[in-house]
């Protein structure tokens, strides 16, 4: 019988930029469409910097669905995590976590997609979650690295 829990997928790489620069990009929803390697995030809605746990920010995805993200973890320069859900609905049970570890002038970045909280009855969302591969997360880290490099020039 297949596992009906959502997966936990992780990718990690070194970004050649200080953690403060990397964190500032992640804390700005306006940069999220340029970071997302899956081309799922289309545009932020009234972006404001992420500054506190419990804060919400909204994004329109490529399918025209408005998503509200709730900030679940925030340690400036170290960790930022949010849980998305369709606007007006309860959060989806998916958590996106970016962890930063300063490494001299560079930053080790780990991106984790944790879908273990998905509703087991939501077969469509579970199928999409199981289709997500570490390569896509690694692509997002590469895109973040390019933005960070441009910001430090």
**Quick one: what percent of the chain has pLDDT higher than 70?**
96
Does pTM surpass 0.75? yes
List, for residues 76-109, the tens digit of each pLDDT value: 999 999 999 888 888 889 999 999 999 988 999 9
Determine which of 27-31, 41-45, 122-126, 146-150 has the lowest per-residue pLDDT on average.
41-45
- Residue 127 tokens, joined: 């199928």
Report the share of the chain in percent with pLDDT over 90. Answer: 61
Q: Is 105 helix (H, G, I), strand (E, B) or coil?
A: coil
Domains and CATH numbers, the chain: 8-152 (3.30.530.20)
């Amino acid at each position: 019988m297949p596992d009906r829990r959502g997966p936990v997928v992780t990718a990690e790489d070194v970004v050649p930029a200080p953690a403060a620069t990397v964190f500032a990009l992640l804390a700005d929803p306006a940069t999220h469409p340029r970071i997302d390697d899956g081309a799922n995030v289309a545009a932020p809605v009234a972006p404001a910097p992420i500054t506190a746990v419990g804060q919400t920010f909204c994004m329109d995805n490529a399918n025209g669905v408005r998503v509200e993200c709730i900030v679940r973890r925030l340690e400036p320069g170290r960790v930022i995590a949010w849980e998305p859900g369709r606007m007006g609905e309860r959060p989806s049970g998916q958590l996106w976590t970016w962890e930063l570890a300063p490494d001299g002038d560079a930053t080790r970045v780990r991106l984790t997609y944790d879908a273990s909280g998905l509703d087991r009855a939501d077969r469509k969302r579970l199928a999409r979650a199981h289709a997500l591969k570490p390569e896509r997360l690694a692509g997002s880290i590469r895109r973040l690295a390019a933005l960070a490099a441009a910001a430090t020039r």
